[in-house]
Amino acid sequence: MDIVTEYSHAFTNIALNKPAIQSSTFTQACKGVSGSAWKAVDGIRNPVYCDGYCSRTGFDDTFPWWQVDLGSKYSITHVEILNRALFPERLAGFQIEVSMRNDTDPNGELRDAVSCFKDTGLQLIAGDLINVACAEQVEGRYLRISNRKSPDLTLCEVLVEGRKQENAKMRWQRS
Ligand SMILES: [Ca+2]
């Protein structure tokens, strides 16, 4: 199978193979595959969930989220999401946030998060590589995609563009 959507522009994907977690994982097997979080950053852009290259949260999750640890502080500019081939409309209402803290509050929200993007009516096409720009410059280490409206959050690939932020204190200590 060769389902590849062209990049809208060339960039280095800082999310590739980075550690990912999610609020729950879909366990009802489809051809024996699981919806493990890391599959959204495995570099394989196949939008067919049952082929085994997408992350997916569980059906009983009332506030599903998926999160990647970029490893250090970045200024995030763009995020691309490969939407699933079946039920692409389930992504409707998704939001993208970043934070320096890997911490979820009792309401299920990422602590100290700043918003990159919130969907209010994107046309969601099966297997489409959705490219969104952050509304304003946002900085953080942890990037989270969440959706209170979705019965399950399925992400077949997440690509992130950003610039690494230098640590001013470290730079001062080294000089
Ligand atoms: Ca993938």
pLDDT tens-digit profile of 24-73?
999 887 888 999 999 999 999 999 999 999 999 999 999 999 999 999 99
What pLDDT band is residue 5 in, cutting at 50, 70 and 90?
very low
Report yes or no: 87 and 138 within 8 Å, Cβ to Cβ.
no
What is the residue-averaged pLDDT of the chain?
91
Q: Is the pLDDT of residue 172 over 80?
A: no
Q: Which residue has the tokens 């009516």?
A: 121
Q: Which CATH architecture has domain 20-174?
A: Sandwich (2.60)
Are the C-beta atoms of 154 and 49 separated by less than 8 Å? yes
The residues spanned by each domain of the chain are: 20-174
Bridging pattern class, strands 157-164 and 65-82:
antiparallel
pLDDT score recorded for residue 169 = 54
Does 112 or 10 have the greater pLDDT score? Answer: 112
Q: How many beta carbons lie within 10 A of that of residue 9, not counting itself? A: 8
* Cα(9) to centroid(ligand 1), Å: 19
Q: What is the pTM of this model?
A: 0.89
CA of 99 to the centre of ligand 1 (A): 23
CA of 102 to the centre of ligand 1 (A): 23
Distance 40 CA to ligand 1 centre (A): 4
Between 44 and 6, whose confidence is greater? Answer: 44
Calpha distance 141→150 (Å, rounded): 25
Q: If you measure from the C-alpha of residue 113 to the centroid of ligand 1, how many angstroms do you get, rounded to a whole number?
A: 25
- Nearest Cα to Cα of residue 117 among 137, 132, 100: 132
Structure tokens at 131: 């490219």
Q: Dihedral of the CA atoms 123, 124, 129, 132 (nearest 10)?
A: 50
**Segment 116-121 mean pLDDT:** 96
Query: At residue 66, what are phi and psi to the nearest 5 degrees?
Result: -135, 145
Q: Give the three-state DSSP class for 66.
A: strand
For residues 101-123, average pLDDT: 96
